[in-house]
């Protein structure tokens, strides 16, 4: 039986049946008309008599009144979270197809959304608004719930950085749901404190680290292994020599290394939204020239050349650099170099070493910031007229000249014939 509560907006559907014992039971559904979508939505009520059913139906209608006014489909809101996650990931895939996001980003989001679905199932899959409220709790919320778990592969506790990344992705999902009219409540969380390992690599261990890396390259069996180990070694030399970032290293192309008529070497560096052109010591330029010759020699099997393999640190047989520089090999190198707390030293520690050494040499922090691309807006404005040569002179002013000039030799460990006339690109 249909009962009208509000004309053309809200009604009540009453159904009844007789049990075996002769008693009569009633079940009620509210039907809500969406005038914008021209659609009727049925919602099952908990009430067991008509009076309570009318009251509950009116409360449900009032709850969805704003959505009805703007034409949101309130029936969709009652679906389980998997439905919305699929819609969200489909939207992300479309962005990947348009080259606005990477495939790797889609993979990461797929993983973090699985954790959100697990959390929802743990709380018996409430609607999105209720889920956002539960998610945001300090106690028993997502941060608390996930923080007590361990990583499946390693068995180690979930790190604060991983937690923060997951919660950032989840908040983006909730915001997307609000934008598309699927919910109204945004999840809110506070990021966990991160302990940054901004330790510079110790100078006392640096020479031994280089010796261990050189020995590895020399003794490695096969071109592919030599190639990989040489890549990592010259990443270390470059970051230690000019203080660049890991992402900037990955982006480097052979065309970014240039020389002027005087023989000075320059490197165009570009990372995530930042770019700069700096003068680099000829010793650092020679590192890259050695790597160039190494790759030409050991890459002859796949006809390596700079045009087809434009990235300086490209992987063996590939046009592009590896997605991640091998952390296991880095840790192994450091451990064999006698570094006890090697877990504290990521590849970025060589950037910190460069910056620390420059500051210890008396270089002002603003000049170092300009050279290494860490300057903030005010610093950039103050030094925007500073030419690369001036910055170069200030950063390397107290470094012994012998440490900056090129040696014009090919080291034995690279396994390339040592030509007496090995010169930098500008001198050829």
**Residue 420 pLDDT > 60:** no
CA distance 376 to 316: 37
pLDDT digits (tens, 9 = 90+) for 314-355: 999 999 888 777 777 888 899 999 988 777 788 888 988 888
Between strands 39-44 and 24-34, the pairing is antiparallel
Pick the more confident residue, 338 or 408. Answer: 338
pLDDT (mean) for 231-240: 95
**Residue 20 pLDDT > 50:** yes
- For 73, list phi and psi in degrees, rounded to 5: -80, 105
Pick the more confident residue, 72 or 333. Answer: 333
CA distance 248 to 66: 49
**Residue 60 pLDDT > 70:** yes
pLDDT digits (tens, 9 = 90+) for 84-97: 999 999 999 999 99
pLDDT (mean) for 61-76: 73
| Percent residues over pLDDT 90 in the chain | 45
**Residue 391 pLDDT > 50:** yes
Pick the more confident residue, 311 or 184. Answer: 311
Lowest mean pLDDT among 253-262, 336-345, 346-355, 389-398: 389-398
pLDDT band, very low/low/confident/very high, at 387 (cuts 50, 70, 90): very low
pLDDT (mean) for 387-406: 60
Pick the more confident residue, 233 or 353. Answer: 233
């Amino acid at each position: 039986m249909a009962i009208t509560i509000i004309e053309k907006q809200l009604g009540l559907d009453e159904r009844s049946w007789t049990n075996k014992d002769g008693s009569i039971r009633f079940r009620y559904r509210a039907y809500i008309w969406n005038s914008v979508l021209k659609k009727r939505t049925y919602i099952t009520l908990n009430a067991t008599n008509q009076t309570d059913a009318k009251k509950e139906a009116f409360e449900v209608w009032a709850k969805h009144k704003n959505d009805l006014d703007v034409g949101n489909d309130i029936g969709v809101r009652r679906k389980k979270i998997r439905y919305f996650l699929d819609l969200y990931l489909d939207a992300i895939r479309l962005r990947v197809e348009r080259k606005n996001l990477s495939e790797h980003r889609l993979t990461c989001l797929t993983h973090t959304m699985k954790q959100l679905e697990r959390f929802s199932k743990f709380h018996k899959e409430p609607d999105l608004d209720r889920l956002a409220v539960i998610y945001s709790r300090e106690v028993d919320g997502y941060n608390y719930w996930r923080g007590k778990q361990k990583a499946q592969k390693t068995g180690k506790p979930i790190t604060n950085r991983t937690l923060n990344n997951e919660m950032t992705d989840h908040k983006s999902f909730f915001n997307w749901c609000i934008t598309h009219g699927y919910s109204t409540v945004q999840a809110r969380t506070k990021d966990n404190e991160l302990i940054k390992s901004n330790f510079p690599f110790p100078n006392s261990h640096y020479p031994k680290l280089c010796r261990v890396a050189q020995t590895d390259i020399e003794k490695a069996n096969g071109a592919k292994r030599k190639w990989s180990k040489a890549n990592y070694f010259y990443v270390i030399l470059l970051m230690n020599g000019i203080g660049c970032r890991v992402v900037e290293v990955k982006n480097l192309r052979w065309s970014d290394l240039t020389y002027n008529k005087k023989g000075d070497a320059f490197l165009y560096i570009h990372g995530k939204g930042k770019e700069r052109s700096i003068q680099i010591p000829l010793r650092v330029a020679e590192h890259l020239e050695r790597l160039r010759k190494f790759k030409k020699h050991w890459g002859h099997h796949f006809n390596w050349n700079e045009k087809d393999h434009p990235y300086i640190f490209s992987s063996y047989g590939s046009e592009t650099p590896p997605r991640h520089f091998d952390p296991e090999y880095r840790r192994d190198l450091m451990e064999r170099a006698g570094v006890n707390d090697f877990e504290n030293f990521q590849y970025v520690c060589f950037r910190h070493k460069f910056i620390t050494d420059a500051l210890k040499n008396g270089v002002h922090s603003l000049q170092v910031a300009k050279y290494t691309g860490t300057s903030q807006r005010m610093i950039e404005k103050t030094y925007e007229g500073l030419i690369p040569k001036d910055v170069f002179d200030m950063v390397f002013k107290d470094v012994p000249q012998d440490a900056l000039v090129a040696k014009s030799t090919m080291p034995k460990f690279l396994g390339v014939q040592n030509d007496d006339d090995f010169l930098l690109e500008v001198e050829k």
